[in-house]
Chain A
């Protein structure tokens, strides 16, 4: 139990610190690196929760593919040298409001929805295994799965359209 706790708090520290680092760092590259660290820490959380498939997917997709593209874009555009643009006037109050709502929801879920003190139900056998996830994904969640893939395709087409200059006539 003790090693587990040490592991948990160590990871929590890394996750929270990297999240704060992400928000506070002035350089886009450092922010991206902090985010990668954060993703990796969360992947280890999944591992601790007996979900190795999810953990490795987290690393492959988020830390691996998406963040590499992020870094790629930052480097190509030289965005790390750009100064931050003017912020929207209602940005700060809005973010505080949203954060408060999130906290309230979390508190509600914690105190009212689950019975406090009861130990969490142990994971089912085969929970989080590739097989179980595959079966769920391709039966119960088939429609969302397909919709998401079309959404991604649309986003990709949109990105290509956006890079083109508007064609001038004549």
Chain B
């Protein structure tokens, strides 16, 4: 690859100066180690529209809130990017903590939908004008906003908690002990399980009814509400989809999540920076090494370190192997969702196992790898593993990817089930902040490895996979394409793997992270995985936010599903490829 195409998309001719464009509404963020602009909240929509339309930042990557308790303000942070590539733009808006209200950006960036709901849910920032502002990860009626710094957890909360005993007097009890239904079968006298409807579901059903569209005007029919999940074999975990059906046709759909919520971000803000690393494994538990990667990048930006050469190569090798294992598994389970009785899934798992063998040998664990460190990786490749990877990426995997392609791609039933189903156009995909394979299958050739290269991806020769129909079939095909491209990267990386150190400086248990903010993002297998980290110089992060692709890709889920049949709900979900550990965090 020649120099010109290595970083092809960056538009350097146009200097962004938002503060000059809106002198009375926008100021430059001058806090130390902070970047971007602070926008007056009254003119947020106007400024955001200008950012999108005039400056061309058409893709809203991440929305999150930060609670600056000492200053008494809440800040909402927006990261936007151009779909033509290049570095992004950060803008923020501030609001008093007690009366936290910010205009919603959903009219400008529809992709803010779920993310604003999350900020409302966890931080209590009300987004005025949001079409459907309900709690999303916590349940309706939950007391308080857990990510606020003055929110006290139910049983204990001590300052500087990470190193203190959780139960100071040794008195431990479980919440289940206080549950009135403790034996699972004893209900209150007048409790009829069949008629019980959780009172807070009323909001969900209201919202579902409001968004019904596309009903057949000719036929007089009833709309049936069906809840798929949270106990359902095809939702890839405890995920619930409330659908309104007219016959077999979907007229409205709402994803309901949070059943696996553990407030990963709150935990992250209590842990030290390094303690967080194994927690990131549990986000998308099928691709822990990619999760490590993003978090390491964000913290390394704050610490201003770069890993040594060999560690960079090892990172790329591990991340790309993860992508293959994730995609092959995604295709297997996707076929399962189409009703192929486990056969493709088991063939896919067989190859995935071989990749996991390498992870196990190198990192010590098959799934929860916990491999990355700030400025390096934990372990070098053991003896013989480099050759094993070599054999895998040169011989076995290319052959197996071809085999999958051969048997599945032209299967009559697969094609008739997926072609033209669940279409997301390029405009919609960008608007809904879809990322990764979902975005690229819609005809947007946006891959962070190429558009805004991190680590050493600018050294490898590979193509950005792109497909143009935006349907379920293309989302399947794009994964095959991406596996082939990953194999190309791997073949180059394993060949050029240099010798040398794998850790910059001395490995430390406690890293010192200077105050500041950083947003590190990687092209994870499921899409753009971003970490927004704020340090105030203390051992643990002040704010730790994860931009989870599994979560944000669901923003466009309803649009993809409406008008299709109920069987397609499952197929489309399978083609988005979510992992609930990441969706619910």
Direct contact of A and B (CB under 8 A): yes
Which residues of A line the B interface, CB within 8 A? 163-165, 167
In the complex, which residue of chain B has the Cβ closest to the Cβ of A166? Answer: B218
Contacts of B218 in A (CB 8 A): 164-165, 167
In the complex, which residue of chain A has the Cβ closest to the Cβ of B247? Answer: A76
User: B180 interface residue, CB < 8 Å from A?
Assistant: no
User: B71 interface residue, CB < 8 Å from A?
Assistant: no
Contacts of B220 in A (CB 8 A): 163, 165
Contacts of A164 in B (CB 8 A): 218-219
Contacts of B219 in A (CB 8 A): 163-165
Expressed in whole angstroms, the Cα–Cα distance for A167 and B220 within the complex equals 12
| CB neighbors of A among B204-219 (8 A) | 217-219
Contacts of B217 in A (CB 8 A): 165
Expressed in whole angstroms, the Cα–Cα distance for A164 and B221 within the complex equals 10
In the complex, which residue of chain B has the Cβ closest to the Cβ of A164? Answer: B218
Q: A164-B219, A165-B218, A165-B220 are in contact. List 6 more A-B contacts (CB 8 A).
A: A163-B219, A163-B220, A164-B218, A165-B217, A165-B219, A167-B218
Expressed in whole angstroms, the Cα–Cα distance for A163 and B216 within the complex equals 12
In the complex, which residue of chain B has the Cβ closest to the Cβ of A77? Answer: B222
Contacts of A165 in B (CB 8 A): 217-220
The contact sample of 9 A-B pairs, CB cut-off 8 A, is A163-B219, A163-B220, A164-B218, A164-B219, A165-B217, A165-B218, A165-B219, A165-B220, A167-B218
Q: Which 7 A-B pairs have the closest CB atoms?
A: A164-B218, A165-B218, A165-B220, A163-B219, A165-B219, A164-B219, A165-B217
Expressed in whole angstroms, the Cα–Cα distance for A165 and B219 within the complex equals 6
- What is the minimal beta-carbon distance from B41 to any residue of chain A, in angstroms? 46
Q: What interface size band does chain B fall in?
A: under 10
Expressed in whole angstroms, the Cα–Cα distance for A165 and B216 within the complex equals 10
- What is the minimal beta-carbon distance from B378 to any residue of chain A, in angstroms? 61
- What is the minimal beta-carbon distance from A161 to any residue of chain B, in angstroms? 11
In the complex, which residue of chain B has the Cβ closest to the Cβ of A167? Answer: B218
The contact string, 1 if C-beta is below 8 Å from chain A, for chain B 217-245, is: 11110000000000000000000000000
| CB neighbors of A among B172-225 (8 A) | 217-220
Expressed in whole angstroms, the Cα–Cα distance for A164 and B218 within the complex equals 6
- What is the minimal beta-carbon distance from B225 to any residue of chain A, in angstroms? 14
In the complex, which residue of chain B has the Cβ closest to the Cβ of A168? Answer: B217
Contacts of A163 in B (CB 8 A): 219-220
Expressed in whole angstroms, the Cα–Cα distance for A87 and B309 within the complex equals 89
- What is the minimal beta-carbon distance from A170 to any residue of chain B, in angstroms? 14
- What is the minimal beta-carbon distance from B416 to any residue of chain A, in angstroms? 26
In the complex, which residue of chain A has the Cβ closest to the Cβ of B217? Answer: A165
Expressed in whole angstroms, the Cα–Cα distance for A164 and B219 within the complex equals 5
In the complex, which residue of chain A has the Cβ closest to the Cβ of B222? Answer: A78
- What is the minimal beta-carbon distance from B215 to any residue of chain A, in angstroms? 12
Expressed in whole angstroms, the Cα–Cα distance for A102 and B122 within the complex equals 77
Expressed in whole angstroms, the Cα–Cα distance for A7 and B218 within the complex equals 53
Expressed in whole angstroms, the Cα–Cα distance for A163 and B220 within the complex equals 7
- What is the minimal beta-carbon distance from A166 to any residue of chain B, in angstroms? 10
Expressed in whole angstroms, the Cα–Cα distance for A167 and B219 within the complex equals 11
In the complex, which residue of chain A has the Cβ closest to the Cβ of B219? Answer: A163
In the complex, which residue of chain A has the Cβ closest to the Cβ of B220? Answer: A165
- What is the minimal beta-carbon distance from B411 to any residue of chain A, in angstroms? 32
- What is the minimal beta-carbon distance from B202 to any residue of chain A, in angstroms? 22
Expressed in whole angstroms, the Cα–Cα distance for A37 and B74 within the complex equals 72
Expressed in whole angstroms, the Cα–Cα distance for A133 and B392 within the complex equals 72
| CB neighbors of A among B435-483 (8 A) | none
Contacts of A167 in B (CB 8 A): 218
Expressed in whole angstroms, the Cα–Cα distance for A164 and B217 within the complex equals 9
- What is the minimal beta-carbon distance from A167 to any residue of chain B, in angstroms? 8
In the complex, which residue of chain B has the Cβ closest to the Cβ of A78? Answer: B222
In the complex, which residue of chain B has the Cβ closest to the Cβ of A163? Answer: B219
Expressed in whole angstroms, the Cα–Cα distance for A165 and B220 within the complex equals 7
- What is the minimal beta-carbon distance from A77 to any residue of chain B, in angstroms? 9
Expressed in whole angstroms, the Cα–Cα distance for A167 and B218 within the complex equals 8
Expressed in whole angstroms, the Cα–Cα distance for A26 and B180 within the complex equals 40
Expressed in whole angstroms, the Cα–Cα distance for A165 and B217 within the complex equals 8
Expressed in whole angstroms, the Cα–Cα distance for A42 and B533 within the complex equals 79
The contact string, 1 if C-beta is below 8 Å from chain A, for chain B 386-427, is: 000000000000000000000000000000000000000000
| CB neighbors of A among B32-59 (8 A) | none
Expressed in whole angstroms, the Cα–Cα distance for A44 and B255 within the complex equals 54
- What is the minimal beta-carbon distance from B222 to any residue of chain A, in angstroms? 8
Expressed in whole angstroms, the Cα–Cα distance for A165 and B218 within the complex equals 5
- What is the minimal beta-carbon distance from B370 to any residue of chain A, in angstroms? 54
Expressed in whole angstroms, the Cα–Cα distance for A126 and B285 within the complex equals 74
Expressed in whole angstroms, the Cα–Cα distance for A55 and B217 within the complex equals 44
The contact string, 1 if C-beta is below 8 Å from chain A, for chain B 491-533, is: 0000000000000000000000000000000000000000000
- What is the minimal beta-carbon distance from A159 to any residue of chain B, in angstroms? 13
- What is the minimal beta-carbon distance from B78 to any residue of chain A, in angstroms? 47
Expressed in whole angstroms, the Cα–Cα distance for A22 and B39 within the complex equals 74
Expressed in whole angstroms, the Cα–Cα distance for A165 and B215 within the complex equals 13
Expressed in whole angstroms, the Cα–Cα distance for A141 and B219 within the complex equals 39
- What is the minimal beta-carbon distance from A168 to any residue of chain B, in angstroms? 9
- What is the minimal beta-carbon distance from B575 to any residue of chain A, in angstroms? 31
Expressed in whole angstroms, the Cα–Cα distance for A103 and B89 within the complex equals 92
